[in-house]
Structure 1
Amino acid sequence: MRKKLLLTLAIVACFAFGSTLANAETLTMGLKGEPTSLDPHFHNVSANNMMSLYIFDKLVRQDNRQKLQPGLAVSWTPVSDNVWEFKLRKGVKFHDGSPFTAEDVKFTFERIPNVPNSPSSFTGFVTGIKVDVVDAHTIRFTTEKPSPLLPRQMAAFTIVSKKNAEGASTADFNSGKAAIGTGPYALVKWERGDKITYKRNDDYWGEKLPWDTIIVRPITNDGTRVAALKSGDVDLINFVPPADVEHLGEDKKLHLSQSPSTRLIYIHLDTDRDDSPTVTGNNGEKIKNPLKDVRVRKAISKAINRRAIAARIMDGLAVPASQMVPDGYEGTSTRLKAETYDPKGAKELLKAAGYPEGFKLTIHGPNDRYVNDADIAQAIAQMLTKVGIKTEVSTMPKSVYFPSASKLQYSFMLVGWATDTGEQSNCIASLLHTYDKEKGFGASNRGRYSNPDLDATLEEALVTVNPEKHNELIIRATEMGIGDLGIIPIHYQVNVWGMKKGLDFNGRTDGYTLPREIKKTN
């Protein structure tokens, strides 16, 4: 009798265990590329910033169209022109059960400027801000001058645990030791090159989470990523290649979601050095850097057929760009238009600048970061060669490319940028303001473009409280930088996600793929 009872209990236990497995919900995603780190303050780049939102939270959230929403802060109020008071969410816990308080916010501000070897830091978002803890759930930020955009700045980085991150290295975050956040999911393990596994935070303060486990597989090759979706190896992929949109849309087992984006694809070019590393005369001889001449930069811009790139390489899933964010966002100029393709005008400008026979250069770029990035680089090289600028192409994995670009090893770079704050001042401050490590300006200005008038105009805008005057100054700074071709805008991506039937994701303008927003429809 005892043996029968034990056998019955064992069978019941097996069924119960099997039922648990059947009810467990796992979402497996194939995402283009892999973060360079899980330290949320190490590298201000989209893949890292997106992944940080799985583990950590921001004081101020952004919805899928980048409008501000309460996050770890439930409200923010200007006490005076240069003092903001934030009320923090009560009852929030880190993954280890410790409470979230204002001390964690203060620690985060102290940590950000001191992360070693950061290739593109968040320092500019916290510089010049004095942090005062009023009580456990109230904090005040005092700035040297008025700071009307401070709430937007708080939407640019995540908050870490003082208890777990104090004294921790970037390697400690990558191993999981210090990756203890308040976010919807807790890190289980990062197996580089294979997968990152997360488990649901059942004490999460936010919306109900449908997924027990999240598995992120980095799949850089577009064809492999699409094949993984079609075979059922993954449930969802991002950055569906434009060439695959039509046939995936016809597959009755799949569903596509499309969203406009703030992702700008652009050229950054060395406008600083007389001797630039990958620019030479036509016979390989050293020449004074022609990219310093605005006529040459204008010639390059005219030589690029943006509409052809959008239509042929991006299969219509791109919009030719005139500035750093699309029309309609705060700080955009109605006077700036996408450059018209004009190869004849390009040749005339090269001749006027003293380069009637052109010169040689190399375009460097990633081959696993943006949609069709290597193909875009090839197309631009061909277009420039046609007007006399003999252009070679060198593309490589982003893990190799970005550190080298940040060390200023290239002259002419294909890059992408998506605004962290949902408006244009963030772009100007990072891409076009003169590089200033101490103040955090120009953190991603890999061409080292410098225009004192632009710097002064932007800095005035950042302390101007009147919204209309602020916007006018941002537009003026934008027109200066784009008019001077400190960068050369190419296009804005249109992002497409592919997923199994039964899943729903509306997409985001920042291009992020966030599991908390992926729902089951059946």
Structure 2
Amino acid sequence: MKRMLKFLTVLSAAAVLCAPSAFAAEKVLKVGIAKEPAKLNPVLIPGIFGESLASNIFDTLISFKESASEPAPGLAESWTIAEDGKTYTFTLRKGVTFHNGMALTSADVKYTLEALLDKANASPSREFFTPVEKIDTPDAYTVVLHLKAPYGPLLFALGNPTCGILPAEVVKEVGMDAFDRKPIGTGPFKFVEWVPDERIVLVKNADYFLGTPKIDKVIFRPIPKPETMAAEIEAGGIDVAQRLLPQDVKRLSEDKNLQVLTVPGLSNDYLGFSYTKAPFSDVRFRKAVYAAIPFDAAINGIWRGVGERSYSWIPSGVFPEDTAHMKSRAIPFDRKEAKRLFDELKKEGILTEGFSFSIYTPQNPQRVKMATAVATELRKYGITAKVESLEWATLFPILKEGAGMYIMGWGSVPDPDRWTYKIFHSGSTMNFSKYELPEIDQALEMGRSLSGADKRGEQYKIVMRKALGEDYIHIPLVFKSVTNVVSSKVKGYTPSAQDYLHLVSEKRNVSID
């Protein structure tokens, strides 16, 4: 009997050894993110952190994950555009299911687009879809968009994560806000949990239509302090780190267990002024601030080679190319000129003695440093500025209401509409300066409706030259490259120019050893 038990034990052990998959180690990717997303429901997402994470849960009709400028099939396997540019017809893939097993149909696409357009949802992305007049669904796999007028940026809008397709029946049942905390998409990863300020956990979608992800679980950890992020990637606490300080990137580049990956970015930082609140509303004040600050030296010292000085909102590589003109309109560092303008404003009573105000900024170290540099220089002219670095949930309402001075950033797709309309159009919720001029609105609207880069580009030149080269409503600071530090165990990962974290796409499937 003992021999028999021993034989069975050995046989059992052998069986286990012959079936290694039964005990295969779970492949977990730990990603450090610089800020926790405010929302995960695509309709409600207000910024890049939510967009980046949601792009792994949801799919869009078309995809820009592998190319920031050329669309690839997503949930739509093909599409056609009418000659007049006013009708777009999309044919959906068959057999795609949401994470709850429900089949994707044209009704889900129609519902998502109508939710984006519904004013009651107050979607931050609504203005990108207002040219859509009507949505038809002639069958379960066909979606037809009818536009009021030709709209060049439509494909970019449809391919952005803020147009991730929602399961209509689920959202109707639970509501937009409840869905935000338990999102369900068709993407490569399924939502598991969200522990505020600690982690967001996703697991692989084995039925993903582009193929089963090679990673079993992804843990996104909000780590707002870049020094902590650097320590975590160095110690192995995370496998991917973003938005690190330049000095930490340089040090970590010497670690053989890490990879430093850099691509040209599509994001900028800028100093903005109120167009409606005195003294910021006086162009002389804005010019005085521009002249008072040694921006070249400050930018070089703060960003240290991780980007280049910007003079416009439109980065190189995105039409129209107008760098030389915009650079010629930048105001050079000139203390005498700054003092002359400040004194003139004081004499007229527009700027009072001992004037004080707040410079608002998110908890981004470079932006905080720049705000501090501006505040330090302004004290030399008898102006007191307090730097208020706030969480996004607190900061966003203040900016929407209208702040006197603030430092923010923006990242988007390589189409000038996405770089300008949302920031400079009078009807946009992201126009924090409350900048409002009929000629600017008209140029932005023309830029959307015209066809061809040359014709559209002329409209964006009007906007940039007026807003930044005459009214100085913003002071552009820097176009930033995107650098991620990644564990050498991670394979197939490439940073995104938009600073997204794409783990599975039509050409990639990130893995970890």
1:94 counterpart SS class: coil
1:403 counterpart SS class: helix
Matched, 1:424 2:416: yes
Report the counterpart of residue 390 of structure 1 in structure 2: 384
Matched, 1:469 2:455: yes
Report the counterpart of residue 340 of structure 2 in structure 1: 348
Report the counterpart of residue 184 of structure 1 in structure 2: 188
d(CA) in 2 for partners of 1:205 and 1:342? Answer: 59
d(CA) in 2 for partners of 1:19 and 1:233? Answer: 26
1:457 counterpart SS class: helix
Report the counterpart of residue 480 of structure 2 in structure 1: 493
Matched, 1:301 2:296: no
Partner amino acid, structure 2, of 1:347:
K
Report the counterpart of residue 404 of structure 2 in structure 1: 411
Shift of 1:467: 3.5
Shift of 1:303: 2.6
Shift of 1:449: 0.9
Matches within 5 A, 1:332-371: 332-334=321-323, 335-337=325-327, 339-353=331-345, 354=348, 355=351, 359-367=355-363, 370=364
**1:385–1:429 distance in 2 versus 1, CA, 3 Å:** same
Equivalent of residue 511 in structure 1, options 489, 499, 508: 499
d(CA) in 1 for partners of 2:438 and 2:15? Answer: 72
TM-score normalised by L of structure 2: 0.89
Partner amino acid, structure 2, of 1:519:
V
d(CA) in 1 for partners of 2:411 and 2:249? Answer: 23
Shift of 1:65: 5.1
- When structure 1 is superposed on structure 2, of 165-174 and 154-163 the one drifting more is 165-174
Report the counterpart of residue 284 of structure 1 in structure 2: none
d(CA) in 2 for partners of 1:40 and 1:115? Answer: 15
Matched, 1:268 2:255: no
Aligned length: 494
**1:136–1:128 distance in 2 versus 1, CA, 3 Å:** same
Matches within 5 A, 1:98-109: 98-109=102-113
Residues 461-518 of structure 1: CA deviation (Å, up to 9, x unaligned) = 2111243212211222222222222322111222221111232533111111222257
Partner amino acid, structure 1, of 2:406:
M
d(CA) in 1 for partners of 2:376 and 2:66? Answer: 37
The question of whether the paired residues in 1 share the 8 Å contact of 2:97 and 2:104 is answered with yes
Equivalent of residue 173 in structure 1, options 174, 179, 195: 179
Shift of 1:379: 1.5
The question of whether the paired residues in 1 share the 8 Å contact of 2:38 and 2:46 is answered with no
Partner amino acid, structure 1, of 2:408:
V
d(CA) in 1 for partners of 2:212 and 2:289? Answer: 50
Matches within 5 A, 1:436-455: 442-455=428-441
d(CA) in 1 for partners of 2:510 and 2:462? Answer: 42
The question of whether the paired residues in 1 share the 8 Å contact of 2:16 and 2:22 is answered with no
The question of whether the paired residues in 2 share the 8 Å contact of 1:89 and 1:137 is answered with yes
1:188 counterpart SS class: strand
The question of whether the paired residues in 1 share the 8 Å contact of 2:151 and 2:449 is answered with yes
Shift of 1:28: 0.9
Q: Runs ≥4 in structure 1, deviation > 6 angstroms?
A: none
Report the counterpart of residue 86 of structure 2 in structure 1: 82
Equivalent of residue 246 in structure 2, options 213, 218, 242: 242
Shift of 1:22: 3.4
1:68 counterpart SS class: coil
d(CA) in 1 for partners of 2:193 and 2:154? Answer: 34
**1:520–1:363 distance in 2 versus 1, CA, 3 Å:** same
1:510 counterpart SS class: coil
- When structure 1 is superposed on structure 2, of 38-47 and 161-170 the one drifting more is 161-170
d(CA) in 1 for partners of 2:15 and 2:54? Answer: 38
Residues 422-466 of structure 1: CA deviation (Å, up to 9, x unaligned) = 22212221111112xxxxxx1201221111111011112211124
Equivalent of residue 314 in structure 1, options 291, 303, 306: 303
The question of whether the paired residues in 2 share the 8 Å contact of 1:262 and 1:325 is answered with no
Report the counterpart of residue 54 of structure 2 in structure 1: 52
2:301 counterpart SS class: helix
1:290 counterpart SS class: coil
**1:360–1:519 distance in 2 versus 1, CA, 3 Å:** same
Shift of 1:400: 2.1
The question of whether the paired residues in 2 share the 8 Å contact of 1:306 and 1:341 is answered with yes
Matched, 1:329 2:318: yes
The question of whether the paired residues in 1 share the 8 Å contact of 2:131 and 2:151 is answered with no
d(CA) in 1 for partners of 2:452 and 2:392? Answer: 40
Residues 222-269 of structure 1: CA deviation (Å, up to 9, x unaligned) = 121111111111111111211211111111221111122121111222
Report the counterpart of residue 39 of structure 1 in structure 2: 41
Matches within 5 A, 1:376-387: 376-387=370-381
**1:64–1:407 distance in 2 versus 1, CA, 3 Å:** farther
Q: What is the identity percentage for the equivalent residue pairs of Structure 1 and Structure 2?
A: 27
Shift of 1:197: 1.0
d(CA) in 2 for partners of 1:121 and 1:87? Answer: 27
1:336 counterpart SS class: helix
Matches within 5 A, 1:53-72: 53-63=55-65, 66-70=68-72, 71-72=74-75
Shift of 1:208: 5.4
**1:117–1:147 distance in 2 versus 1, CA, 3 Å:** closer
Report the counterpart of residue 203 of structure 2 in structure 1: 199
1:302 counterpart SS class: helix
The question of whether the paired residues in 2 share the 8 Å contact of 1:310 and 1:316 is answered with no
The question of whether the paired residues in 2 share the 8 Å contact of 1:133 and 1:140 is answered with yes
d(CA) in 2 for partners of 1:417 and 1:308? Answer: 22
The question of whether the paired residues in 1 share the 8 Å contact of 2:115 and 2:121 is answered with no
Partner amino acid, structure 2, of 1:260:
P
Partner amino acid, structure 2, of 1:482:
L
Equivalent of residue 97 in structure 2, options 93, 118, 127: 93
Residues 178-228 of structure 1: CA deviation (Å, up to 9, x unaligned) = x11111100111111111111111111225522111111111111211111
d(CA) in 1 for partners of 2:488 and 2:366? Answer: 26
d(CA) in 1 for partners of 2:362 and 2:352? Answer: 31
Partner amino acid, structure 1, of 2:429:
A
d(CA) in 2 for partners of 1:83 and 1:315? Answer: 47
Residues 87-145 of structure 1: CA deviation (Å, up to 9, x unaligned) = 22232221122221211110001112447675x61111222411111322221111112
Shift of 1:373: 2.6
1:226 counterpart SS class: helix
Partner amino acid, structure 2, of 1:45:
G
1:325 counterpart SS class: coil
Q: Which runs of 5+ in 1 are unaligned?
A: 274-288, 436-441
Report the counterpart of residue 155 of structure 1 in structure 2: 159
d(CA) in 2 for partners of 1:115 and 1:29? Answer: 34
1:55 counterpart SS class: coil
The question of whether the paired residues in 2 share the 8 Å contact of 1:264 and 1:416 is answered with yes
Shift of 1:350: 2.7
TM-score normalised by L of structure 1: 0.87
Shift of 1:376: 2.1
Residues 269-318 of structure 1: CA deviation (Å, up to 9, x unaligned) = 22124xxxxxxxxxxxxxxx111111211222233333223321122212
Partner amino acid, structure 1, of 2:411:
A
Shift of 1:56: 0.2
d(CA) in 2 for partners of 1:413 and 1:17? Answer: 60
- When structure 1 is superposed on structure 2, of 56-65 and 25-34 the one drifting more is 56-65
1:478 counterpart SS class: helix
